[in-house]
Structure 1
Amino acid sequence: MNDVVAHESFSKSARTPSGAMPYAATETAARHAIYPPVSIRIGEARPMTRNGGVRPGIGFAKLRLDLERAWQAVMHLECREALVIAELIEHHANRLSPTVAKTLRCELAALRAAALVLQDDEAAALPAALAARGPGVSAVTAHIALTVCRSVYWRLGELERFHAVERVKLDTQLGRRQALAALFDLALDAAVALDQMRFSAARLLAAHALEIGRRFIGKQVPADAFPACIVAQVLYEQGQVDDAEALIVARLATLRESCTVESALRAYGLLTRIAAGRRQHGRALVILSEAEALGARRAWPRLQAASLAQQIEIEVGRGRIEQAESALQRLAALVALAGLADEARAASRNVSFEIARFHTVARARVALACSPAAVDIAALREVHRDTVWRGGLYAAVPIALLLVEALLVTGQRGEAVEVLVGLLRLAPSVGLHQTLVDCSARVAELIEAIVQQRIVAVSDTRELLPYAGMLLVHRQRDASETHEPFAARRPHAGAGLSERERLILALMGRGLSNKQIAVELGIAPETVKSHAKHLYAKLSVRNRTEAVTLASRLDLLRMPRSVAA
């Protein structure tokens, strides 16, 4: 193949939807049958001759096939494998003409950027994404590079740059690779909306991301755990705690096997908050232990730090100070390692900032329990201010509640009241609910004092009384529901299913296929498929397995009364 033909072939294949790849139809099983997972580490590149890897004297067509293999690895979140393959391809790129090699390297840069950002290494991902842009780059490659840039700017809290990145106009029919970029784009928009406590917008954007995954990528989409977790966070904040838990539980197997750090942070963090809110402290600690182990295994210090911080919060709440101090020591070690990596420019500012934030908050919790006078209120104020400055308004709420506690125990009651009143003024307008319901006993007592007007604030608080009173009622209700059966609790998302959808879901739970359900109901299989698609969207799940798992958790697998009768 001469260079001109090679370049034309490369450009066409770059524009071809990756759904058209020879082995895409058979998904994971076929991919591993043709290309067994790479087990070598980066930097240990060596010729590979039997497993579909790069061989000495390799031609352009084989390089292209190996590149598609690397993209498949990224789509399945097997990022280390993708980076190894990319390094091997780069080794042979010099044998191509300069024009072809340049185009190839741009796509390799986009691939590396995607793999690195999924590995939580935005310090290396951003330069790679910027290197992937340039004249002659395919639309798909450019889209992926832009998505990585947006992801990095979001994580760094640089929202002006985030919003300034050029948005890609999507085709009506997306290839799998561009669909994945579109899914992440929408999930990033949803994450920003959640950060800014625009909960309804966050849920709509995340639901749209899930729909993109269902329509253009298929059932096995590990990356869609990210938008699913955002939907769960919104459900939780709106008081639909059981729905939020069930949505994550339906994806736990996928999360344990293959997920992004953002998905893991949100999923494990939310499951822990729910368990702690129900006073299931032992279960919460088991969840956190699993999360910490996952963080260590995947080299995700942010997940390790978040898990340790929540462990400390639970142990302090149970009065187990020795265990809390032990976890705090492990967290301090992570801070030190992050600092060393930051000095060596081997870690991103975001990772260092978040680990330091977890440490500041956890240290304050231990101090509150042991020696309140030693609480570093200035450090709490600073981390709260920095979190808000980076656009994390939602993440700043728990810090503000902790600051209220710290101010109370150090005798600064007036300031504590004003901070809390500020939150109570903001909460109804943005839909902040469950985080305040789950506040500490000290903060709840202060809310009660405001409701009973035993405290005179600097500003008028009369308009806050109905909302503050409702928080206390819901807090008492949640406490009484802790030991109730799951299905006996408040209404859930399943209430939005139609009678026919509930019937089809119940038949799915009995193991019937779409064709068998169609025969049972006397309707066309296409109609069953359409109903299934709608109920998947309403339940925010990807496939039949997740729908049945979630329905079982929500007690939706019983036949509707009209049919049962």
Structure 2
Amino acid sequence: MNEAFVCETHQEAAHPHPRAAPPRAQSEALAMRGLHVVPPVPVYVDESQSSARVGRERPAVSVARIHLDLARAWQMLIRLMAAEALLIAQRIEGQVGPLPGPVALALRCEIAAVRAAALLLQDDAGAALAAALCALRLGSATPTARVALTVCRCAYWRLGDPESSYTLERRELSEPGERPGRLRAITAMFDLALDAAIEFAQMRFHGARLLADDALDVARRCRAGSAALDALPACVMAQVLYEEGRVDESEALVAARLPGIRQGGTIEGALRGYGLLARIAAKRRQPGQGLLLLAEADALGMKRNWPRLRAASLAQQVEMHVAADRIDQAALCAQRLAVLDGQCDAASSSARFEIARYHVLAQARLALAQAHSEASAQAHSEASAQAHSEASAQANSEASAQAPAAVDLAALRQLHCDTVLRRDRYGAVAIALLLVEALLVAGLRDEAVEVLVTLLLQAASVGLHQTLVDCSERVAKLIDGIVRGSIAPAGDVRELLPYAGALMSRRRRGIADVQPGRDTARDTARSVAAMGLSERERAIIGLMGRGLTNKQIAIRLRIAPETVKSHAKHLYTKLSVGNRIEAVTLASRLGLVRLSGSGVD
């Protein structure tokens, strides 16, 4: 344990403005500082009392020890070790009772803030909100109230109440007369990241990108940006880049933080990071890699007791198995998800809604795949009926006995409505696309066209395109029919045709890019040229990939270290990355560098 760091964290979390102490109290405070502990509320004892010296000192020592434990709890939270922080809070809660009233009140407030942050990290938004509100009632003007406010905002958002989240006050990183510390920087970063996530959910992509960039900047400036801590804003930024079609940059941003997410990230970072990397793998026709990532996410969710992450992983596995026509494996994943959904009563209300959402989506995808498989089998059976009449009749009988359940259109419609009411417009897009496909299979073509046109109009207004480019073959044929004029929707859709045509053009280019025989060297050269990398910059990024430091690169290229730093800044700007790890990861993806075993600095 780094006691100096404990003292710093403790001071910034609980002691912004110490009061002047009488001479004896000052000497006791100096003794405490010798132990690297500064009690925020000194306990004074009247010298006229006849108590023994040991009796007078015992309350002060008790408070000092409690504050040291609280500082350790904050340190556990900064390390994203929620269970350890909760254990510390539980241990010291019973020690507060014998202390004087004002001292006990301040301690209870801080303990409640610790508990709120830890419960939020454990994905229990309801319990976290209750603890945060308790902390604010006990002491809304305390420094730890900032943490409680951030927890409240996040919990309201997770519970589907963004209006309450918006009404809570936001504080600046550094307020007058206050020294910003690491805890404050991390809280400010999470505030910005939360705003970025809300903007993204409402498909305000430009605002999401600006806020995520600000959050990453706070993390860099205050040295709060470990790979685990800044994973949420990085993943929100990566999602925006993905929707802009900048898939390589999106992948590099998340891949650089995946080790931190594995070791001790937040559930929001894990959900977005693993889900996005699996989508990218599927887009590149690499289902094996995507399924490995999703299996790892499932294992992480089981280890951390995050049922929401497990549900997201299983639902995406169903989607990938269906795309690869592995219906049996998809059915097994859907069955596991059904079991998880049945056990979700122990989860928070926010987790219950999302687990149920993933279950409905997985069941709908599986039913659509089974219907398609059944139709193909029946067509094949009818084609060979004349030559094998008896076998055909038996096969049809068995198929009828095992016919899959129809897609629950009512459940999909209700889920779409509920998701929109929770202000998750981005999440509603995937549901709408699946609803269009289900309506087509059910023979409700006019309603499917109506839902799709509404979605396209909304998507065109906000700049959403990659999710629509990745849509299923059934939906793509419907969009293509609208563009070509073979499908005539109700109303005038002429203003929509350029956007829809661009979607189909991008889709065709994307399919061609992953076909065998692609000229990888030529495409890499084209990507590098588009980014405007000079020969010197390519040489520097290559040496970075081999693990050389700036000083070693300067010696190798016979230039000044300051020149290397200048080139590195230009590199980061051109590659749209924030640091060396992200730059090297993206350059490796483009084939510019080959990562060495030593890693990078």
- 1:463 and 1:284, CA in 2 relative to 1: closer, same or farther beyond 3 A? same
Q: Which has the larger radius of gyration?
A: 2
8 Å CA contact 1:73, 1:79 repeated in 2: yes
Task: Pick one of 116, 141, 146 that aligns with 2:149.
Answer: 146
Cα offset for 1:466?
Answer: 1.5
8 Å CA contact 1:487, 1:555 repeated in 2: no
Cα offset for 1:328?
Answer: 1.3
Looking at structure 1, the residues matched to 89 and 527 of structure 2 have their Cα atoms a distance apart, in angstroms, of 49
- 1:513 and 1:539, CA in 2 relative to 1: closer, same or farther beyond 3 A? same
- 1:524 and 1:14, CA in 2 relative to 1: closer, same or farther beyond 3 A? farther
> Greater CA deviation, 110-119 or 213-222?
213-222
- The match for 2:120 is 117
TM-score, length-normalised on structure 2?
0.78
- The match for 2:494 is 462
- The match for 1:171 is 174
- The match for 2:588 is 552
Correspondences of 1:3-402 after superposition (within 5 Å): 14-15=14-15, 59-134=62-137, 139-171=142-174, 174-338=180-344, 340-341=345-346, 347-371=347-371, 374-402=406-434
Task: Pick one of 467, 470, 482 that aligns with 1:438.
Answer: 470
Output the amino acid matched with 2:354.
Answer: E
Looking at structure 2, the residues matched to 157 and 12 of structure 1 have their Cα atoms a distance apart, in angstroms, of 32
Looking at structure 1, the residues matched to 576 and 94 of structure 2 have their Cα atoms a distance apart, in angstroms, of 43
8 Å CA contact 1:109, 1:132 repeated in 2: yes
Output the amino acid matched with 1:229.
Answer: C
Looking at structure 2, the residues matched to 357 and 415 of structure 1 have their Cα atoms a distance apart, in angstroms, of 22
Looking at structure 1, the residues matched to 110 and 220 of structure 2 have their Cα atoms a distance apart, in angstroms, of 26
- The match for 1:420 is 452
| Alignment deviations for residues 378-425 of structure 1 (CA, whole Å, 9 cap, x no partner) | 110000010011001001101101110111111110011111111121
> Greater CA deviation, 77-86 or 165-174?
165-174
- 1:456 and 1:99, CA in 2 relative to 1: closer, same or farther beyond 3 A? same
8 Å CA contact 2:252, 2:583 repeated in 1: no
- 1:493 and 1:170, CA in 2 relative to 1: closer, same or farther beyond 3 A? farther
Looking at structure 1, the residues matched to 219 and 506 of structure 2 have their Cα atoms a distance apart, in angstroms, of 36
| Alignment deviations for residues 145-197 of structure 1 (CA, whole Å, 9 cap, x no partner) | 11000001111121110111111133176211011111111111101110111
8 Å CA contact 2:216, 2:225 repeated in 1: no
- 1:280 and 1:458, CA in 2 relative to 1: closer, same or farther beyond 3 A? same
| Alignment deviations for residues 53-109 of structure 1 (CA, whole Å, 9 cap, x no partner) | xx9996332322222221111111111111111112223223432211211111111
8 Å CA contact 1:210, 1:540 repeated in 2: no
Cα offset for 1:502?
Answer: 5.8
8 Å CA contact 1:493, 1:539 repeated in 2: no
Looking at structure 2, the residues matched to 472 and 420 of structure 1 have their Cα atoms a distance apart, in angstroms, of 14
Output the amino acid matched with 1:513.
Answer: T
Looking at structure 2, the residues matched to 167 and 219 of structure 1 have their Cα atoms a distance apart, in angstroms, of 21
> Greater CA deviation, 89-98 or 415-424?
89-98
Looking at structure 2, the residues matched to 186 and 278 of structure 1 have their Cα atoms a distance apart, in angstroms, of 32
8 Å CA contact 1:197, 1:394 repeated in 2: yes
TM-score, length-normalised on structure 1?
0.83
Task: Pick one of 523, 540, 543 that aligns with 1:488.
Answer: 523
Output the amino acid matched with 1:479.
Answer: I
> Greater CA deviation, 132-141 or 224-233?
132-141
8 Å CA contact 2:193, 2:215 repeated in 1: yes
- 1:546 and 1:238, CA in 2 relative to 1: closer, same or farther beyond 3 A? closer
Output the amino acid matched with 2:585.
Answer: T
8 Å CA contact 2:82, 2:122 repeated in 1: yes
Instruction: Point out which structure has higher relative CO (alpha carbons under 8 A, 6+ apart).
Output: 1
Looking at structure 1, the residues matched to 115 and 166 of structure 2 have their Cα atoms a distance apart, in angstroms, of 23
Unaligned runs of 5+ in 1: 1-8, 18-33, 35-54, 342-346, 559-565
Cα offset for 1:219?
Answer: 4.8
Looking at structure 1, the residues matched to 144 and 521 of structure 2 have their Cα atoms a distance apart, in angstroms, of 46
- 1:104 and 1:487, CA in 2 relative to 1: closer, same or farther beyond 3 A? farther
Looking at structure 2, the residues matched to 251 and 221 of structure 1 have their Cα atoms a distance apart, in angstroms, of 5
SS in 1 for 2:369: helix
SS in 2 for 1:210: helix
SS in 1 for 2:230: helix
Give the number of aligned pairs. 508
> Greater CA deviation, 454-463 or 383-392?
454-463
| Alignment deviations for residues 310-360 of structure 1 (CA, whole Å, 9 cap, x no partner) | 11112222222222221111111111111x32xxxxx32211111111111
Cα offset for 1:508?
Answer: 3.0
- 1:281 and 1:13, CA in 2 relative to 1: closer, same or farther beyond 3 A? closer
Unaligned runs of 5+ in 2: 1-8, 18-35, 37-57, 372-403, 595-601
